[in-house]
Amino acid sequence: MLPVRSKYKIAKRLGNAVFEQTQTQKFALSEARSRKPRGRAPSDYGRQLIEKQRVRYTYGLSERQLSNYVFEATKDADPSAALHRSLEMRADNVMYRAGLASTRRASRQGVSHGHVTVNGQRITTPSMVLRVGDKIAIREGNRTSPLYAGLAEAEKRAAASWLSVDYALLTAEVVGLPTYSAAEAGLDYSTVFEFYSR
């Protein structure tokens, strides 16, 4: 997992959407109080760097991982959609989007520790890319763990539309592909491509 020293400092620079813990009203009020007016607008490079860092921290990727995803996405006819699809279809992100973990960091830890199966096979690789028809589930031996025991009863956030989730069995099936919309995703991938094309 990518080590993060100060989530609150990073979130103040990149925006509160990069970490789930900073998406609170208290953090927003604190940020508004401490925000100082800037003398001038950031340069093109500064804008591109900030957007690239937002994508990195949102998905918990290293610099090398993100550059590899960007390189592969540039081969596609619609690079932004291809990059979004690659990031969203990672096993750790699918667990988070399905509501089987409270944060991406928790879902990555669950996958790394072997608490998760894909199509009945135990996995330990958070970056494993899932396909339509794949089923991800919490292993039977881990369902009674305090991490997952309350998921079936808890009120869940809405799962992504491309997932079919059964909270009673703690399973999710990929039934479609995620579609990219800059407004919905909150990330501008075209700026990231500009950064890497320098």
> Measured between alpha carbons, how far is 80 from 189 in angstroms, rounded to an integer?
6
Q: DSSP E strands: which ranges in the chain?
A: 116-118, 121-123, 135-138, 163-166, 171-174
Nearest Cα neighbor of 137 from 171, 188, 101 is 171
> Among 43-57, 76-90, 107-121, whose mean pLDDT is lowest?
43-57
The CA–CA distances, whole Å, from 191 to 59, 72, 152, 188, 195 equal: 17, 16, 39, 6, 6
- pLDDT tens-digit series, residues 132-189: 999 999 998 888 888 877 675 555 567 888 999 988 888 999 999 999 887 777 888 9
> Measured between alpha carbons, how far is 43 from 116 in angstroms, rounded to an integer?
43
In the block, which residue shows the tokens 């894909």? Answer: 118
Segment 49-71 mean pLDDT: 92
Per-residue pLDDT band for 191 (boundaries 50, 70, 90) equals: very high
Which tokens belong to 191? 């700026």
Q: Does domain 99-174 have CATH number 3.10.290.10?
A: yes
Q: DSSP E strands: which ranges in 8-150?
A: 116-118, 121-123, 135-138
> Among 38-47, 50-59, 66-75, whose mean pLDDT is lowest?
38-47
Angle value at C-alpha 98, between 91 and 144, nearest 5 degrees: 90
Share of the chain above pLDDT 70, in %: 76
Strand, coil or helix: what is 163?
Answer: strand
The CA–CA distances, whole Å, from 81 to 85, 96, 158, 177, 178 equal: 6, 20, 22, 10, 9
Tell me what pLDDT residue 2 has: 47
- pLDDT tens-digit series, residues 116-136: 999 999 999 999 999 999 999
Which tokens belong to 198? 């320098």
Q: Where are the domains of the chain?
A: 99-174
Per-residue pLDDT band for 1 (boundaries 50, 70, 90) equals: very low
Tell me what pLDDT residue 39 has: 59
pTM given for the model: 0.78
> Measured between alpha carbons, how far is 122 from 175 in angstroms, rounded to an integer?
21
> Measured between alpha carbons, how far is 7 from 167 in angstroms, rounded to an integer?
30
